[in-house]
Structure 1
Amino acid sequence: GVELTNAIIDNHEAPMVLSSIMKQTCTERGRKVVQDGMDILGGAGICRGEANFVGNSWMSMPVGITVEGANIMTRSFMIIGQGVTRCHPHMLPLIASLQSDEADAPAKFRAQFLKMVGHVLSNFGLGVARALSSTATTAIRSSTAYKGSPDALVSYHEAQLARLSANFAFASDLALLLG
């Protein structure tokens, strides 16, 4: 972790995911420290004045939370950045080929990139196929078809979840490819 962060910073890059993790962690730790300080000081912590060393921090903490760390955008960067990198079947080999100094690194990158494009196209096809089958299945059944059998209702919702999962996988792959 430390070597990766240092290598990225040495290359004069701005690591969005690592920066987001750092901002989130610092903000949450700062929030906890100020909250503990207010717990210790009690009523003296809410009184304004020069002797109150925690009051101003307490009052400025919402600004730090919204601007610096605990907002949804920062958490989304961390979740998407880390999740896509770790869970995608072709992302880690693609990154390894980019970092490689070997002579065949461009060929490895090209091969991994083509696999990634194939993965995107297969997710697109799966999403379209599941959407069409879901639409056809729903159109064939009447509105009362699910009232008699709980299994039919469960299988219907499983099919809808599978359709939405395929669409989400395609959207994630597309966002990954387009940056």
Structure 2
Amino acid sequence: MEKNLLWIALLSIVACKGVSQEDKKEIAEKVDYPITKSDSEWRAELTDMEYYVLRKAATENAFTSDLLDNKEKGTYVCAACATPLFRSENKFDSGTGWPSFDQEIDGSVAYDVDYKIGYARTEEHCATCGGHLGHVFNDGPRATTGKRHCINGVALDFIPDEK
């Protein structure tokens, strides 16, 4: 009898389904952004890779972005809605393989918590359309903000400054 109770207790524990991550995801999806479109509208406007990253929160392969080594002065904008997100003077070479910035343009980025790889990370979205940009970490340049906004290059377009 004691053995049966032990098995029942063990099965009860194993059968429990944690929903805390699902709840957080559900909350994130309810945010109302100024620009909202249907899934089919986004698919029609974005390239396959832009759609995959911006709308499905994927990550492009490291060292594949054309913007990684861009040294021009200008503004990095959301590839989905053209909202200005980052300035070139805040870009730095993090060695990670993704464009990295030590700060965003005020009010341009929204934040959420992402548990996709088993622990909490701070996910970044365009504050205008909700497009997934990347993640922010606390291992950036100590001389400035200490932040590293690790951004998918395909989520960005670059607009050079006027000369």
For normalisation by structure 2, the TM-score amounts to 0.28
Structure with more strand by fraction: 2
Higher normalized contact order (CA 8 Å, seq sep 6+, divided by chain length)? 2
For normalisation by structure 1, the TM-score amounts to 0.27
Structure with more helix by fraction: 1
